[in-house]
């Protein structure tokens, strides 16, 4: 569905006259049926990559293809569902009229405009807000309106830039359900986000960018081979670990919680010994998600 080969994008800084390398020799393939994540620190090249895929920019070198076509040709011929990082609409538009306008721009015929508008209003919980003006919406409701317009047209490519920005915990959870519902064999759902936990929950694979380079692609559900923690152990307060789990560090202000590092096989033997001695383990889990561990390794602990 999406193929980039040795793509580079450079800009000339108007202030200092120097060359800025936004992307460097990036090669990437994304297949139909995938929910694909893009992560990276600020300035890593995420926005430039999305702009290339949507045809807003052209690469300085290399090739970008979407559905076998140039991005602009694909967008014009097939359409793309797109949520921008910052949702901005005319402040006097109402929720309902905004969606009708975007449905018109998406090329939907009048009957479909009404049906799709009503459908996304219901899916995004905007019924009570349909007659409110954009300027009256909270940040979270504006974000839901942005998601609604991205879903108006049934497209094979859905691009979501920071989709959970401003959403409350309830709608963050509902967004996960929404993405699961949008999965299908002929579609790519592309999500760019700083929220690594969200990407780990949703994406099949995640590309990690740093300083314009593709550092690695992480497949969801795979533990890094060299993972050594830190892990968090929770036991009843007052439990003595002694030599069973050497090096366990108490967590300040959290009675019964300890931080552990080391090879997982070694820690498992210590936990087994603790249980055999009559101890109780209430919880044992990595303090960092798998994706976060890969991310820190890829871009550096200080990024």
What confidence tens digit (pLDDT) does each residue in 265-298 have?
Answer: 889 999 999 999 999 999 998 887 778 878 888 8
Work out the widest C-alpha separation in the chain, in whole angstroms: 73
The token pair at 252 is: 């300040």
Handedness of CA 181, 186, 191, 197 (dihedral sign): positive
Cα 76 to Cα 53, 79, 107, distances in angstroms = 13, 6, 11
Binned at pLDDT 50, 70 and 90, residue 223 comes out as low
What confidence tens digit (pLDDT) does each residue in 145-187 have?
Answer: 999 999 999 999 999 999 999 999 999 999 999 999 999 999 9
- 82 forms beta bridges with 159
Q: Is residue 291 helix, strand or coil?
A: helix
What confidence tens digit (pLDDT) does each residue in 242-266 have?
Answer: 888 988 999 999 999 999 998 888 8
- Which strands sit side by side in the sheet containing 19-30, from one edge to the other? 19-30, 2-12, 61-66
Among candidates 229, 243, 250, which has minimal Cα distance to 279?
A: 243
What confidence tens digit (pLDDT) does each residue in 79-122 have?
Answer: 999 999 999 999 999 999 999 999 999 999 998 999 999 999 99
Q: What is the reported pTM?
A: 0.82
Cα 227 to Cα 203, 222, 285, 286, distances in angstroms = 21, 11, 12, 9
């Amino acid at each position: 569905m999406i193929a980039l080969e040795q793509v580079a994008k450079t800009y000339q800084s108007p202030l200092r006259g120097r060359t800025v390398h936004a992307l460097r020799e990036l090669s990437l393939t994304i297949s139909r049926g995938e929910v694909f994540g893009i992560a990276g620190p600020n300035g890593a090249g995420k926005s430039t990559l999305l702009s290339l895929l949507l045809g807003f920019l052209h690469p300085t070198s290399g090739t970008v293809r979407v559905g076998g076509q140039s991005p602009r040709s694909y967008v014009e011929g097939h359409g793309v569902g797109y949520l921008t990082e910052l949702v901005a609409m005319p402040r006097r538009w109402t929720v309902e009229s905004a969606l009708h306008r975007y449905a018109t721009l998406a090329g939907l015929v009048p009957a479909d405009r009404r049906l799709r508008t009503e459908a996304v209003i219901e899916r995004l919980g905007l019924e009570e807000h349909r007659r409110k003006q954009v300027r009256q919406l909270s940040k979270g409701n504006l974000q839901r309106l942005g998601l609604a317009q991205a879903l108006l047209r049934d497209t094979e490519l859905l691009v979501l830039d920071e989709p959970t920005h401003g959403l409350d915990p309830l709608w963050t959870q509902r967004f996960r359900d929404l993405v699961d519902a949008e999965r299908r064999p002929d579609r790519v759902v592309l999500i760019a986000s700083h929220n690594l936990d969200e990407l780990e929950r949703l994406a099949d694979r995640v590309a990690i960018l740093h300083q314009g380079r593709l550092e690695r692609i992480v497949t969801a559900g795979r533990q890094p081979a060299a993972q050594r923690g830190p892990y968090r152990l929770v036991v009843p307060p007052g439990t003595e670990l002694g030599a069973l789990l050497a090096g366990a560090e108490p967590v300040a202000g959290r009675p019964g919680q300890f931080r552990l590092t080391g090879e997982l096989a070694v820690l498992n033997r210590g936990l087994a010994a603790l249980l055999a001695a009559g101890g109780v383990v209430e919880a044992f889990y990595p303090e960092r998600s798998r994706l976060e561990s890969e991310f820190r390794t890829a871009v550096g602990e200080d990024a």
